[in-house]
């Protein structure tokens, strides 16, 4: 739920809980949640499914708050066919100012230990909204990088 700068906004938490509860109550059949456990208010599948609408709304809000981000998302990003994590900046036409903006916003993080050119990652809160999918083994790597970016052992 946090970006790569460690920011966790209250609106993201509220939105996440809203979507998870909505899925649990109103979309139980669609998400095959008929056999709810009595010891959980929100089943794991509803929690996992809530991230997608939260991510889309997070990206929409970021586009409103950062005009340069909106330009990058709406003009540059659609030109690229495959959006997988990790990626190389050349794939998405990022100049240094765009790269700096995205890093300051917490949208991307560069794994400087990786020798490959595809060494940029996107946190979960932005990934779905930007249309990125995980490459093989990327989920655990994103968590490791988030810990590294935040400079502490927990996320």
Are the C-beta atoms of residues 129 and 60 closer than 8 Å to each other?
Answer: yes
User: Tokens 């917490």 appear where?
Assistant: 106
pLDDT at 124 over 50: yes
Per-residue pLDDT band for 155 (boundaries 50, 70, 90) equals very low
**Mind listing the pLDDT tens digit for each residue in 61-115?**
999 999 999 998 988 786 666 888 888 888 887 889 989 999 999 999 888 887 7
> Would the pTM count as exceeding 0.85?
no
Give 137-146 pLDDT, tens digit per residue. 555 556 666 6
The residue with greater pLDDT, 91 or 154, is 91
List pLDDT tens digits, range 8-64. Answer: 889 999 999 999 999 888 877 766 666 655 567 788 888 889 999 999 999 999 999
39 vs 18: CA distance, rounded Å: 19
Q: How far apart are CA 148 and CA 144, in angstroms?
A: 6
């Amino acid at each position: 739920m946090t970006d790569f700068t460690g920011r966790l906004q209250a609106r993201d938490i509220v939105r996440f809980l809203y979507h998870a509860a909505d899925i649990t109550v109103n979309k139980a059949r669609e998400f095959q949640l008929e056999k709810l456990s009595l010891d959980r208010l929100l089943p794991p599948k509803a929690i996992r499914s809530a991230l997608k609408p939260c991510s889309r709304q997070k990206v929409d809000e970021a586009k409103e708050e950062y005009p340069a981000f909106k330009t990058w998302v709406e003009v540059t990003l659609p030109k690229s066919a495959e959006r997988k994590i990790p990626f190389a900046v050349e794939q998405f036409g990022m100049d240094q100012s765009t790269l700096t903006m995205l890093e300051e916003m917490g949208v991307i993080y560069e794994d400087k230990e990786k020798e490959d050119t595809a060494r940029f990652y996107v946190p979960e809160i932005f990934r779905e909204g930007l249309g990125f999918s995980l490459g093989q083994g990327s989920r655990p790597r994103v968590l490791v990088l988030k810990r590294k970016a935040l400079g502490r052992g927990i996320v």
